[in-house]
Amino acid sequence: MLSDKQFLRYQRQICLNEVGEQGQAYLLNRSVLLIGCGGLGNAAALYLAAAGVGKLVLADDDLVEESNLARQIGFRTPQIGMAKVSALAESLAQLNPECKIRPVNRRMDKSLLTLEAALADVVLDCSDNFLTRHSINQVCYEQGVPLISGSAIGWQGQLIGFDFTQPNSGCYACFAPQEQQMSQRCSDSGVMGPVVGTIGNLQALLALQALMKMDNVPFSQFHQFDGRHLSWQQWLLTPDPDCSICSSHLNHRASAHVQQKEGL
């Protein structure tokens, strides 16, 4: 049961039929692994902590730089030079002291990623490079942990989630084959800060639905946001029978199989 203080803090969420006191109590006992403490990770972590997720594990090996502050809204100017995980943990602790924060100030190899994913109820991929996304995808698939992946570049943002607790869910490699590696990063091509925040917020929203095990969580749906025109497109992902990760045909080329759905 919730304490009176917790009931007051989370009252607006508890009023929702889909949440209620039971759903809020459930969130307080859930754990999220968040990989990447840049713009996506900042936005997602702030909303997850504010919503009452009991434990957040923050993984990143970078330091706060002045150029981060235009979009990574969990950091403050005096924190320039600090480890991102430590700086973000400070902000989250001030926002919600009840949320247990564990910083992991290192780049995750597969063994550490496997261990941390196995301890999490949901994993958020907030990284900024293609190789890391594929590594996270493979580990989450192997561990059977739901994965929510976000990215942003320029005025464009993308979001997709996978429920690896269910069979035939497809995976990130079905959508973006490992052979088709992309090299664009926001440090090279630029990015509009609120676009990153929009996608990070939606990662948190999808994570909360997954953590509460709500009905009809929109997994396996690819959402693309055009921040220049404030428009959305949405597709349904179907598993690639030749996927190198989630198919039994391990030696075939993966290809994306998406079926266009109505735009929003």
**Quick check: 80 pLDDT over 60?**
yes
**Quick check: 249 pLDDT over 60?**
no
pLDDT at 175: 84
Is 186 part of the annotated catalytic residue set? yes
**Quick check: 264 pLDDT over 80?**
no
pLDDT at 96: 98
- Taking the C-alpha atoms of residue 243 and residue 217, their distance in angstroms, rounded to an integer, is 23
Give SS3 for 226.
strand
What is the distance in angstroms between the CA of the first residue and the CA of the last residue of the chain?
38
Q: Biggest alpha carbon distance in the chain?
A: 56
Domains and CATH numbers, the chain: 4-260 (3.40.50.720)
pLDDT band at 112; cut points 50, 70, 90: very high
Can you give the pTM of this predicted structure? 0.91
Average pLDDT over residues 120-129: 96
Confirm if 144 and 123 have CB atoms less than 8 A apart.
Answer: no
Which of 99, 140, 171, 186 is labelled catalytic? Answer: 186
pLDDT at 259: 44
**Quick check: 159 pLDDT over 80?**
yes
Give the burial class of 183: count Cβ atoms within 10 A of its Cβ; 0-12 exposed, 13-18 middle, 19 or more buried. exposed
Question: Which secondary structure element, helix H or strand E, spans residue 24, and what is its range?
Answer: helix 20-27
Residue 247 has which token pair?
A: 């198919």
Q: Render pLDDT for 181-239 as a digit per residue (tens, 0 to 9).
A: 555 566 667 999 999 999 999 999 999 999 999 999 999 999 999 999 999 999 999 89
> Which amino acid is located at 121 in the chain?
D
pLDDT at 247: 86
Average pLDDT over residues 148-162: 97
Collect all residues with Cβ–Cβ distance below 8 Å to 233 and sequence separation of at least 6.
223, 224, 226, 260, 263, 264
Q: For residue 150, what is the DSSP state?
A: E
Percentage with pLDDT > 90 across the chain: 83
Residue 106 has which token pair?
A: 């290192």
Collect all residues with Cβ–Cβ distance below 8 Å to 31 and sequence separation of at least 6.
53, 54, 55, 56, 57, 119, 120, 121
Q: To which residue do tokens 């550490």 refer? A: 112
Q: Render pLDDT for 2-17 as a digit per residue (tens, 0 to 9).
A: 999 999 999 999 999 9
> Which amino acid is located at 158 in the chain?
Q
Q: Distances from the Cα of 202 to the Cαs of 179, 187, 213, 223, in angstroms?
A: 28, 22, 16, 10
Collect all residues with Cβ–Cβ distance below 8 Å to 48 and sequence separation of at least 6.
32, 34, 56, 99, 204, 207, 208
